[in-house]
Amino acid sequence: MVEERPAVWEDDTQMAVLFAPFRDKSLNPASWNQKMKFWTNIITDTLLSSQDIVINSVSLASKFERKGKSPLCLNTVLDEMKGSGKIIALSQEPQLQNLSPSKSWLSWGYQKLVKSPVTWSLKYLKSADFSNSGAKYIVVDILKPMIVIQCLAF
């Protein structure tokens, strides 16, 4: 699948800045925020189109390789997304309970159709050998619509 990239993707000068590690935010907060917004948006958009909900910095680096180079800023982006609750570390999967729909007949469907299979999958993924691929994260913005769709399908 060919990913659709923003127009800036073709600008070598701007992409060099966007691929570089983040500088201290206090040096230029507006530029830092703009770069963070760029990466957060492109990561979310790319993962939404591919329906990937489990990511890590290595898999993202390969998704965003450009002209033989990978972004050097993705760990900072992942840290920021984790801090803002946009991603959850796979090692903290009990937080998925906070994604549950409101208590009702839908909660039964959520428990049976979503939470149980997701919990099993997470336990499987945690037990697999990912020693070379870094920390794994769940993308909340992609998981939430999947939960709603599963509940509505019930």
* Mean of pLDDT values over 127-153: 63
The per-residue pLDDT for range 93-104, each reduced to its tens digit, is 555 555 544 455
Q: Is the pTM above the cut of 0.75?
A: no
The residue among 26 and 125 whose pLDDT is bigger is 26
Closest by CA to 3, choosing from 44, 57, 58, 34, is: 44
Q: What percent of the chain has pLDDT over 90?
A: 38
pLDDT above 80: residue 116: no
pLDDT above 60: residue 65: yes
pLDDT band at 89, cuts 50/70/90?
confident
Average pLDDT, the chain: 78
Radius of gyration of the chain (CA): 17
**Residues of the chain by 3-state class (helix, strand, coil), percent to 5:** 65, 5, 30
pLDDT band at 11, cuts 50/70/90?
very high
pLDDT band at 24, cuts 50/70/90?
very high
* Mean of pLDDT values over 10-37: 96
pLDDT band at 129, cuts 50/70/90?
very low
How far is the C-alpha of 4 from the C-alpha of 1, rounded, in Å?
9
The residue among 56 and 153 whose pLDDT is bigger is 56
